[in-house]
Structure 1
Amino acid sequence: VAVRCGCTSICPSTLLFDAVARASVASKVARASATSIDQFSIDQFNPQASRKTLPTTAWAFATAGHPSPLLFDAVARASAASIDQFMPQNLANMAWAFATVCHSSPALFEAMSRASAARIGHFSRQNLANTAWAFATVGHASPALFESSALFEAMSRASAARIGQFSPQNLANTAWAFATVGHASPALFESMSRASAASALFEAMSRASAA
Structure 2
Amino acid sequence: MKIGIIGATGNAGSALFAEATKRGHQAAAIVRDPAKARELLGGGASILERDAFDLTADDLSAFDVVVNAFGATPDQAYLHVDLTQSLIDGASGENAPRLIFILGAGSLTTGGDNHLFVDDLRNLPGAEAWVSIPENQLKQLEQLRTVTQVDWVGVSPSAHFIPGEATKPTLGGEALLYAPDGESHTTTGTMAVAILDEIENPAHRLTRFTVSDS
Using the size of structure 1 for normalisation, the TM-score is 0.29
Higher helix share: 1
Using the size of structure 2 for normalisation, the TM-score is 0.28
Higher strand share: 2
- The structure whose Rg is larger is 1
Structure of higher RCO (CA pairs closer than 8 Å, 6+ residues apart): 2
